[in-house]
Chains A and B, each alone.
Chain A
Amino acid sequence: MFGAGGGTSSYREVEETDLIILWGSNARETHPIFFHHVLKAVHNGARLFVVDPRRTVSAQWADGWLGIDVGTDIALANTVAREIIHSGLHNREFIERATTGFEEFAASVEEWTLERGEQETGVPAAMIRELALSYARADRAILCWTLGITEHHNAVDNVFSLINLALLCGHVGRYGSGLNPLRGQNNVQGGGDMGAIPNKLPGFQDIERDAEAREKFRQAWGVEISPKYGWHLTQMFAAMERGELTAAYVIGENPAQSEADAKHTHELLEGLECLVVQDIFMTRTAQMADVVLPASASWCEAEGTVTNSERRVQRVRKALEPPEGARDDIEIICEIARRMGHDWDYPSVEAVWDELRSLSPMHAGMSYSRLEELGGIPWPCTSEDDPGSQFLHGRLWENPISGPPAPFFVCEHELPVDRLTDEFPIRLTTGRRLDSYNTGVQSNSFTSPLRRPETLDLSPEDCEQLGVEEGERVQITSRRGTVIAPVRIDPTLRPGLAFMTLHFPDEVQTNILTIEATDPKSGTAEFKASAIKVEKLPLPQTDAAPGQVALPAR
């Protein structure tokens, strides 16, 4: 937010806040460790609201669940905002001192009456009001979100619409009040911090706009830094399609199975001149690769650091030797550099880190010895006498504020790209389960008493209308393809809403159904909203599937 990508609050604050909103997050299943902190808060008396189309196991813990229609988050956020303003509960002092664009924003949400909000989101007006008043009246409130917000074609606007709410109430930059995107993978925060994103150098230094930073890196690395944003994942696939991108070096990612519109992705990867995969598993993508570089597992077979969702950088130590042939990631990368004529002479992993500290101001104070001594340090930590930052944006509460004010954004509600029609009347949303992880590369080799095979989860009403029973295999068709999967009757779903995971792509390739409508700003595809039809098998003769072969479901 406001320039740096990271949650603003610490776990301790989550436990000591007064109100938590999980918006588009089923943290109970998908962020179980974070949810422990949420539960501690709940046991300490904090109220919990969950905004999710499904009544998830997280929602079952909540004081209030708002079951919105998929893709109406901005409608809900704007309605909540209007209700807060009309109730006179917005923080006028904070807005005046620390934000810009309020007037325009307030005017933009004026049309979002409770009635209109109810009409658009499906959530009863009283419940929307309850959320609005609870959030605005809470002394401390933390708003968390995950992929239910970001896996949409308008992901960034969705996020802005939530940030607006925090700015409206001054629920950011104070102890116990904050905005927190929950990180879905171990060290995904660290990856972004280290510059593994197309527009930033390490430490969120802008690669186009920050000439000073470029110069600093040029001096350190001895090469010119191109002042041009790179491609994010979706743009890379577009570039493959245009034939501009012909070689890919994939580290720790399984796009062959994790991308939307899987069939198309597969074709593009097949078409590359050179595909290099560096991974600890022989993933489906690795199986397609020209070169596979077996890596060591970074959490137990390597030295380094890891950064968690509260921005805390922690030391990782090597506990095991990697299996024969597998090599440390840093070693592999340095070796590739050496063969390309750049002999990076790092005597140790710590030396790599110290170089980072010299270039990224927000990491400058984090020596290995301090990381060890303090049990990790949350960034920013700009010098060796800086204890790190428990929460971000405290500057907004200084009088006068330091740095630029935080802007409100006008966000327009837009329905998902894949429209519901009479032909495709059911909204399919995708997600994850507690026992499995993404495409299953890391989790399917373990057994779990909770795990069950992939299913199409449908409401009891839809099942009855289709005349299908629990476990019966049905044909599921979107505008992009068809798969066959068994049905599971799920009373947490309402009529017209279906749910699938992407954990078992070998059984049911859910991403054949999903749409590659991506957000132009973040590059995230709208995994959360596809329009489907469900048909009982066998199909009547006349009703042929549109062009795609159904994959066998085992």
Chain B
Amino acid sequence: MDLRIQDQTATAVERQAVDAVLGEPDSSWVGAVRSREDGHFAVGGHAARSRRHLLLPVLHAVQARVGWISPGALGYVCRRLTIPPAEAYGVASFYALFALEPRPPIVAHVCTDIACMCRGSQMLVAELERTIGPAGEHPGNGHAIWLESPCLGLCERAPAVLVTEAGEDPSERSVAPAGAEDVAAALAGRLPERMTTEPVAQQGSPDVRLMRRFGVVDPESLDSYRSQGGYDALRQAFALGPAGVIREVSDSKLLGRGGAAFPTGRKWEAVARHPVRPHYLICNADESEPGTFKDRFVFEQDPFSLIEAMTIAAYATGAEHGYVYLRGEYPLAWERLVNAVTLARRHGFLGEDIMGQGMRFDIELRKGAGAYICGEETALFNSIEGFRGEPRNKPPFPVDAGLFQKPTVINNVETLVNVLDIVLEGGRAFAERGTDGSTGMRLFCLSGCVERPGLYEAPFGVTLREVLDMAGGVRAGHELRSILLGGAAGAFVGPDMLDLELSFEATREAGVTLGSGVIMVFDETVPLAPVLLRIAGFFRDESCGQCVPCRVGTVRQQEALLRLVNDRPRGSVDDELALLDEIARGMRDASICGLGQTAANAIESALRGLRPFPTEAVS
């Protein structure tokens, strides 16, 4: 490791962007004007390096201000934080939203992922190529560019586009559903209006718990939240005491909603009892699983509920410092989260002595920058700490050595929000909803070829058919072909599986997964082969490259699929299928994290159950 700072210097604007996050430099060694005293002393070391967790925010600041991260800017950041430039480059280049080559200020990220494929993203792309030019080329005045993007999490309104504009007053806007004319207008400098929230289909329904305040409260008003029962749960938590809260959560049999279905009570208990201090609490809101958008709805429609739930979790587990790690592609959710935290602090619901109970807790916000893998909990720790978002080996588990190697509770947004009900009505009452093995309610993200894509809430145990019906079923006049359950890391099921009970235990028995609640529906208008290719390409792009089975396996998987799609199998089709099977086993057995372990799931399930090749081969 060496501190060989590059010769290029940062521009004044770049330095301003960096200083806005890190504060003014205090000596010429980190960028201030040379003084006589500087020649005789310098401080840094641990103090400077202890701020490394600001690397991601500071890179965001430069990217947002200038539109790309120049070697000079990166060098300046390295100097400020005592980070070897090679490491900082490794971090900056890890994230898709950061550019390390000059890039125009306006960028339209056009989602071409699977949910948008069902809704015409390919036509949108073709139109853009025709009218504007190929992705990555500067149209017209050179101030703008459009790029293809993985899932933007706006699947219910596909096709989706995210427009970012760097500058003094940077902005990020989502457009969905987007047409070529929206993109063209954005590229010409006419940015789309701020996106508004759309009501969920079940708004106001007595059947929903998690969504009960959606559309009812003003998501930008703490007072509105409190008028709808906000902070009743925290008050109740104080009455129960930390051990009492954990007992209720354990009694509720709440399982994690991020995909791994780990018992939340056990996680909390382990951290609460851990003698090592401090404890950290993290809300994992990096939902990047293609087809997933449930957490976005919580931030957009009821952000205070998450803050209250985190405060309860912190109270129960003895954490004084919390983080929300929100994916970078959610401008509206980010705005509302920032506002909610600001208001909660102002009103004393975060900070010192919360609600006069002597409790201290605050939340720091972190924005992802386009890396699917950062949703893996240990990768997320590394990302917050300012390292490449590469998963760590487990054990040690997060409850023992998580963020900054300290005991850490990390929960998904939906998991946390459930805690409010658990505290209010008691764990046993909560457990009465749902099934024995899967208690409570579940949020389902319906997208693709359904009549009313969107977010739906139902108790566990509901059948696939029932959920589909809630969304109006397959588009009128079309025929159901397959359903992707659980997202790209999930599995395809055919129409024969519509009576599948949606619970952790039933899906496990059926050899599929609920994952993050994705239900993506495909009808006969969507050929499966390109979808599979897109999934393979997604994993290839998103593999962090740290461990070999995944780095190599995801590439080989995509290549074999491509040969099958192009009807040019090496050997026979069966040879290729055998190869894919072998790659899948290799990745599943030997990858260190879930990405590699599940990167073949959807493809395998499609090949096994749906036989898309060669009869359905599409070039």
The reply to whether B40 and A61 form a contact with Cβ atoms under 8 Å apart is: no
Q: Which residues of A contact B323 (CB under 8 A)?
A: none
Expressed in whole angstroms, the minimum distance between the Cβ of B137 and any Cβ of chain A is: 36
Contact A48-B45, Cβ < 8 Å, known A57-B2, A57-B3: yes
* 15 A-B pairs with C-beta separation under 8 A: A55-B29, A57-B3, A60-B29, A62-B44, A62-B45, A63-B46, A64-B43, A64-B45, A65-B41, A65-B42, A66-B41, A121-B40, A124-B41, A459-B39, A491-B28
A500 shortest CB reach to chain B, Å: 19
Q: Which residues of B line the A interface, CB within 8 A? A: 1-3, 28-29, 34, 36-47, 82
Given contacts A55-B29, A60-B82, contact A47 B46 (CB under 8 A): yes
Is A67 at the interface (CB under 8 A from chain B)? yes
Nearest-neighbour CB distance to chain A for B593, whole angstroms, equals: 24
- C-alpha spacing A42/B82, complex, angstroms: 13
Main secondary structure of the interface of B (DSSP, over half): mixed
A residues in contact with B28, CB < 8 Å: 491
A side interface size, CB within 8 A: 30
Name the residue on B nearest A55 (C-beta): B42
Query: Given A124-B37, A460-B34, does the pair A59, B42 have CB atoms closer than 8 Å?
Result: yes
Chain B residues near A60: list those with CB within 8 A.
3, 29, 44, 82
Residue of A nearest to B28 (CB): A491
* Distance in Å: Cβ of A1 to nearest Cβ of chain B: 28
A495-B39 contact, Cβ under 8 Å, with A57-B2, A57-B3, A460-B34: yes
- A124–B45 Cα gap in the complex (Å)? 18
Taken together as a complex, chains A and B put the C-alpha atoms of A506 and B351 apart, in Å, by 67
A478-498 contact mask (Cβ, 8 Å, vs B): 1 or 0: 000000000000010111010
Q: Which of A236-270 contact B (CB under 8 A)?
A: none
10 A-B pairs with the lowest CB-CB distances in the bound complex, closest first? A494-B39, A63-B45, A67-B40, A65-B42, A127-B41, A122-B40, A60-B3, A123-B40, A62-B45, A64-B43
Chain A residues packing against B (C-beta within 8 Å): 39, 42, 45, 47-48, 55, 57, 59-68, 121-124, 127, 459-461, 491, 493-495, 497
B1, B37, B40 interface centre (most CB from chain A within 10 Å): B40
Which chain A residue has the least Cβ–Cβ distance from B43?
A: A64
Inter-subunit contact B2/A64 (CB<8 Å): no
B41 touches A67 (CB 8 A): yes
- Complex: chain A residue closest to B1, CB-CB: A39
Task: Note all chain A residues with C-beta closer than 8 A to B1.
Answer: 39
Residues of A within 8 A of B43 (CB): 63-65, 127
Check if B40 sits within 8 Å of A66, measured CB to CB: yes
* CA A122 to CA B38, docked complex, whole Å: 10
CA distance A57 to B2 in the complex (A): 8
In the bound assembly, the distance between CA atoms of A127 and B82 in angstroms comes to 20
17 additional contacts (CB under 8 A) given A63-B47, A67-B39, A67-B40: A47-B46, A55-B42, A57-B2, A57-B3, A60-B44, A61-B82, A62-B42, A63-B44, A63-B45, A63-B46, A65-B44, A66-B41, A122-B40, A123-B40, A127-B41, A493-B39, A495-B39
Instruction: Report the minimum CB–CB distance from B404 to chain A (whole Å).
Output: 12
B45 and A42 form a contact (CB under 8 A): yes
Complex Cα gap A266–B397 (Å): 67
Residues of A within 8 A of B44 (CB): 60, 62-63, 65
- Among A39, A47, A64, A459, the residue within 8 A (CB) of B41 is A64
A491 CA to B7 CA in the complex, in Å?
12
Nearest-CB distance from A414 to chain B (Å)? 20
What separation, in Å, do the CA atoms of A55 and B42 have in the docked complex?
A: 8
A361 to chain B, nearest CB (A): 42
Give B300 Cβ to nearest chain A Cβ, in Å. Answer: 42
B3 neighbours in A (Cβ, 8 Å): 57, 60-61
Docked pose: A66 CA to B82 CA in angstroms: 18
Distance of A377 Cα from B43 Cα, bound (Å): 38
Determine which of B39, B42, B82 lies in contact with A64 in the assembled complex, contact meaning CB atoms within 8 Å.
B42
